[in-house]
Amino acid sequence: MSSGPTRASVVAAARESIARGSKSFAAASQLFDAATRERAWLLYAWCRECDDLADGQVLGHDAAPVADPAARLARIRALTGQALAGEWTGDPAFDALRIVAKETRMPHRFAHDLVEGFALDAKGWMPRSEADLLRYCYHVAGAVGCMMAVVMGVSPDDEATLDRACDLGLAFQLANIARDIEADDRIGRCYLPVEWLVEMDIPPGQHMKPPFRPRLVVIARWLGEMAEDYGASARRGTPALGFRSAWAVLAAAGIYGDIAREVVTRGAHAWDHRARTSGWQKAGWIAAAAGQAALRRALYPPKPRPEGLWTRPRD
């Protein structure tokens, strides 16, 4: 296509996408300065559309098995490649990627890494080990953390800060996995490492059966603890950000951290209904994060990233 939509129209569509698809991220995005906020919406719109296409859902809700996963993945690859090549696609979400990638010098490898996460789901992949789990979390969320860091002004060459941004994505995805164990099982997916299930003596495909609920609670606690560890590491990257970006990141970390903590706190009732943060909790974290952001250099002084944490691929 030789000409495309106006930037304003694509931004408006992206804003609608985040408002309907994620109240948590919509709330956190309001803390950015105007330019960063719009670019965050643009990136979110593309991520949301890819996720919806891959999972047969609408704005992150009502995921269902799809009959044509390979065709959907091919569409995601084709439109993503077209957008990254600087071409208009005719799809507002992929045009959003075109705009934000061009405006931020975003490394294309991060977008391709996210698409590879959808490829894993398309072939019914399941992690065997904890390292496999974290590699998957990188592809579907850590890579997004890296892209968001670039949107917030982090240099694509600042590997140390990108590692911390990746850690935030890992923390979010680990919380998602803990929260959605039952929902994923309903569509035939399981992101619990086989080695964990073997350790807890849970037969494959039986983890949601009532007799195994106490053991599943232990696994959910492991996921929650991992989410806390990666979230703590992510906070150490905030001194590299401007105040408003640090404020948004710290608010999002608190809001999403509450989801993982809620799952752990509920124990055997964790999946009776979907864990979420209330409006009051969001407001509380937004207020608390303002103080944390103002004091970020004192609260999070330079410190090596813990050696035990998984490290993202560099190329």
> Are 89 and 95 a contacting pair, CB within 8 Å?
yes
The pTM of this model reads 0.93
Average pLDDT over residues 84-93: 96
pLDDT digits (tens, 9 = 90+) for 230-276: 999 999 999 999 999 999 999 999 999 999 999 999 999 999 999 98
DSSP code string of 23-91: HHHHHHHTTS-HHHHHHHHHHHHHHHHHHHHHHT-BTTBS----S-HHHHHHHHHHHHHHHHTT---S-
> Are 75 and 93 a contacting pair, CB within 8 Å?
no
Domains of the chain: 1-123 (1.10.600.10), 126-315 (1.10.600.10)
Whole-angstrom distance, CA of residue 185 vs CA of residue 238: 36
Q: What is the pLDDT of residue 28?
A: 80
Q: What is the pLDDT of residue 1?
A: 44
Query: What burial class does residue 87 get, using C-beta atoms within 10 Å of its C-beta: 0-12 exposed, 13-18 middle, 19+ buried?
Result: middle
Residues 6+ away with beta carbon under 8 Å from 276: 259, 262
Question: Nearest-CA neighbor of 15 among 47, 37, 35, 33?
Answer: 37
Average pLDDT over residues 4-30: 88
The mean pLDDT of the chain is 93
pLDDT at 63 over 70: no
> At what angle are helices 34-55 and 92-104 packed, to 10 degrees?
140
What whole-number percentage of the chain has pLDDT above 70?
96
Distance of CA 41 to the CA centre of its chain: 14
Which range is least confidently modeled, 52-61, 94-103, 165-174? Answer: 52-61
Phi, psi of 44 (to 5 degrees): -60, -45
Write down the residue that tokens 């405006």 correspond to. 103
Whole-angstrom distance, CA of residue 211 vs CA of residue 216: 10
* pLDDT band (50, 70, 90) for residue 304: very high
Phi, psi of 61 (to 5 degrees): -120, 150
Average pLDDT over residues 68-73: 89
